[in-house]
Structure 1
Amino acid sequence: MKTLQRVASIKKIEQGNIVTPQGFKTAGVHAGLRYSKKDLGIILSDIPASVAAVYTQSVIQAAPLDVTKDSIQVEGKLQGIIVNSACANACTGKQGLKDAYEMRNLAASKFDLAPHYLAVASTGVIGEYMKMDKIKRGIELLEPSPADKDAIDFEQAILTTDTVTKNCAYSVEIDGVTVTMGGAAKGSGMIHPNMATMLGFITTDAAIESADLQLALSTITDQTFNQITVDGDTSTNDMVLVLANGKAGNQALSPTHPQWDTFIQLLKQTSESLAKQIAKDGEGATKLIECNVFGTESKHAAQIIAKTIIGSNLVKTAAYGADANWGRIIAAMGRSGIDFNPQQVTIAFGDLVVLEDGEPVDFSEEIAKAYLEQDLLVINVTLKEGSETGTAWGCDLTYDYVKINASYRS
């Protein structure tokens, strides 16, 4: 009961963003990498911050990831993140790595920081070289501030095929002081578990050492960022970075801190919000799909089944067509690799049960269609194998997804 009270105290900050926590500022500009939209941004902390990171699980990793890992390993601290869209700087060989380091050094020089205090992130087309003359001019244009308008500029600068910006902020009381966490993200296509094509940036004024922050991020990643899928493809540039600068003044958080679970829930809620916004903005998508799986022997089993259902193209197209074809759901479950008894499976669209204990249920197609036409579709699957649960998020698959990706480079 004590833990529930702490979790309930987490407050959503309306209109909050990446600079809502104390001691952070940001900016976004048009450097010329894209035709007219903003394409270069930076996040800065007033002081070196503790850092945690997770990266794409693809064996092909872009140059910015190598540079970011190199920066973090020096001291375990970061003070800034320089980000560009339009060009992924992936599969660009020695020149690409040189350009990523130059991008880091240019930002370090501009803001008078040691180079290893800068992380680099890029997103866009694979296999194209960075236009370093434009990167250099763009960095000179960056004038970060803690203003909301500059946070919006940053959010816009990191987008590719996204249709909307993605942000959130939450606060909670720890050690009698207010701890705040904010986030910004991009991601729309090439989204799949094990770090999808996303960039996620989270800031907090909590006091916490890097090792403990990394433990916290690793704890919640499999329940949030790794539980979304749009199209089954995993990218080369994906990462989530968390910066914690300690400005809130709480006692340093660690697993032995009495409110460690509160911080975990704060990070989980922030990450889940960003993850769901990415899933909802899948390329060409018209609705967000949430799948909850109940009654498995392990959480891992529930998560695998939920992700398999969400990732099924047949389920996604049925969702787009508002077709209550539950057969596609149980078929996806069958190939999930998780063993279960089909005679103990119940499937519902929201509260509308369509399969109960492995037997078809007579339901109203009209009511089902009306529910499936909403912009949030919840699929609830219940097994009788155990007491664990898991959730995954995705989107429907539409004609527009094909149109967008058929002409991505043009």
Structure 2
Amino acid sequence: MRVIGLISGTSVDGIDAALVELEGQGYDLSVTLLDGLTWPYPAELQQQILALCAGEPVGLERLAHLDDAVAHSFADAAQALMAQAGPAELVASHGQTVFHRPVGRPSLPGRGDIQLGYSLQLGRGAVLAQRVQLPTVSDFRQADIEAGGEGAPLAPVLDLCLLSHPTERRCVQNLGGIGNVAYLPPWDRQSPAPKVLGWDTGPANSLIDIAMHTLSEGTLAYDRDGAWAAQGTPCQALIEAWLEHPYFLQPPPKSTGRELFGWDFFQRCQQDARARGLSAVDLVATLTEFTAASVAQEYRTFLAALPDRVLVGGGGSHNPVLMARLQAHLPESAVQTTDEVGLSASYKEAIAFAMLGYWHCQRFAGNLPAVTGASGPVVLGHLSHPRLSL
């Protein structure tokens, strides 16, 4: 089956679209990336999304408009990819996360109410299905949340299927806006699938991107090739202070987003940097070092043994300074991109949702309860069919 996977991550830097050929059942899959592209948001829509993620108040009518506008941008990405690479039979869309609240404590003392997690993605599947005139699977997080999970991270199941090794312990580290990891024990594929650990490690590019946009007065969206970080000197005292954030003390399963590591946290970082007289490039270097240090600290705190190899995907895999610092913090492990073992680092997350959409059609559970904290395995996603002819 030819499936288009779509996702825009917490960096809101564009829509990744991957056309994938999938064959097989369950974990016994053949997955081939046929083509991919990154589709830019219209500038005004991107700014509206970022403002919403930063907590700007929004009326319900405007929120509905944004929901549809994101869906149309996702449809544009899917149609551009099909024009470039040929038709698909199914679309699987993660959408654009604008709010994520993990599983909470009882809401009122003494009552024992269970507060389920909450996660909101814009870009509704029904609109997308109508635009592309294809069955569309969307809303992937909800079923896991209803089972008591965090609804995130969901990509580690792809890592289990495609990146496990018969003798190596591997960590697959995504460095998108937020970082997440899958810890893969050795697996020879002749035995039952092992227990995979996974969680959000904290910020990846989110703080660096906000810094670049702020410090460049809107002219730069990210630190291309780590050029600013390479010119600066990290402040170790600030890194150690930021690593005391309560999120880093919380054991997995756990997930996070811009609600914790977004604009508010960056403002604290900027104030701290000013108090110590850091230059703009010093601040970017410090945030880059903080990202690498936080990933390594999460591994050392919550893994029984460090991995033999760390395979990195997401936008951060293209930042040589960030990659070098991650290797420096994990000298016991070989740090590489997933490209080096045959899986596109740029489109890995889009491939994951194509796979989850394919599994939805097979009624195969796509979550990993040990990763999300769900009470058990569940089929992910909601299927929308085109009902109108265009």
Q: Same fold (TM over 0.5)?
A: no
Larger radius of gyration: 1
More helix by share: 2
**Greater relative CO, 1 or 2 (CA 8 Å, sep 6+):** 2
TM-score, length basis structure 1: 0.27
TM-score, normalised with respect to structure 2: 0.28
Give 1 or 2: higher strand fraction. Answer: 1
